[in-house]
Amino acid sequence: MIKDEKLNIYENIKNEVIKNILENDLIQNKDKIVVAVSGGPDSMCLLTILNDLKKTFLDMYNISYDIIVAHVNHGIRKESDSEKEYVENFCKKLNVPFYYLKEDVEDLAKKKKMSIEACGRDVRYEFFDKVKKETNSTKIAVAHNLDDNVETILLNIIRGCGLKGLIGMDFFSNYIIRPLITIEKKYILEYNIYQNLNPCFDKTNEENEYLRNKVRNLLIPTLQKEYNENFSNNIIRMKEILTNDENFLEEYTNNILEKCVTKKEDKILFNIDILLNTHISIALRGIREIINMKLGNLDGISNIHINDIYKLLKNHIKGKKYIIGNKFTIEILKKNIAIIY
Q: Judge if 88 and 180 occupy the same domain.
A: yes
Query: Is residue 251 in some structural domain?
Result: no
Range of the domain at 130: 9-229
22 and 131 housed in the same domain: yes
pLDDT at 5: 53
Domain end marker among 229, 249, 279: 229
Residues 264 and 159 in one domain: no
Q: For every one of its 341 residues, what pLDDT tens digit does the chain have, with 9 covering 90 and above?
A: 455 554 589 999 999 999 999 999 999 999 999 999 999 999 999 999 999 999 999 999 999 999 999 999 987 887 888 899 999 999 999 999 999 999 888 888 888 888 888 888 999 999 999 999 999 999 999 999 999 999 999 999 998 888 888 999 999 998 999 999 999 999 999 999 999 999 998 877 778 878 899 999 999 999 999 999 999 999 999 999 999 999 999 999 999 999 999 987 788 999 999 999 999 999 999 999 999 999 888 877 888 899 999 999 998 888 888 888 888 999 999 889 999 99
User: Do 144 and 33 share a structural domain?
Assistant: yes
- Look at the chain and report how many structural domains it folds into: 2
In this structure, the answer to whether residues 23 and 143 fall within a common structural domain is yes
DSSP, collapsed to helix, strand or coil, labels residue 251 as helix
> Taking the C-alpha atoms of 234, 229, 155 and 70 in order, what is their torsion angle to the nearest 10 degrees?
-90
pTM of the model: 0.84
Let me know whether 217 and 266 are in one domain.
no
Query: Which pLDDT score, from 0 to 100, does residue 204 have?
Result: 77
Tell me, yes or no, whether 134 and 30 share the same domain: yes
- Domain assignment present for residue 236? The answer is no
Tell me if 243 is assigned to some domain: no
CATH code at position 121:
3.40.50.620
| Residues 69, 212 within the same domain | yes
**What pLDDT score was predicted for residue 319?**
87
Residue 14 within any structural domain of the chain: yes
What's residue 7's pLDDT?
55
pLDDT of 203: 78
273 with 156, same domain: the answer is no
How far apart CA 105 and CA 97 sit, in angstroms, is: 24
pLDDT at 6: 47
pLDDT at 81: 85
Select from 134, 98, 113, 146 the least CA-distant residue to 2. 146
Residue 249 lies in a domain: no
**Within this chain, do residues 184 and 298 fall inside the same structural domain, yes or no?**
no
- Are residues 191 and 263 both part of a single domain? no
Cite the DSSP H helix spans in the chain: 9-23, 41-61, 80-94, 105-112, 116-134, 146-159, 185-194, 211-214, 220-226, 231-260, 272-276, 280-295, 303-315
CATH of the domain at 314: 3.30.465.60
The pLDDT score that the predictor gives to residue 113 is 83
Domain boundary among 229, 251, 283: 229
Query: Among residues 187, 207, 229, which one ends one of the domains?
Result: 229
Co-location of 77 and 204 in the same domain: yes
Tell me, yes or no, whether 120 lies in a domain: yes
In a domain, 239, yes or no: no
Asked if residue 240 is part of any domain, the answer here is no
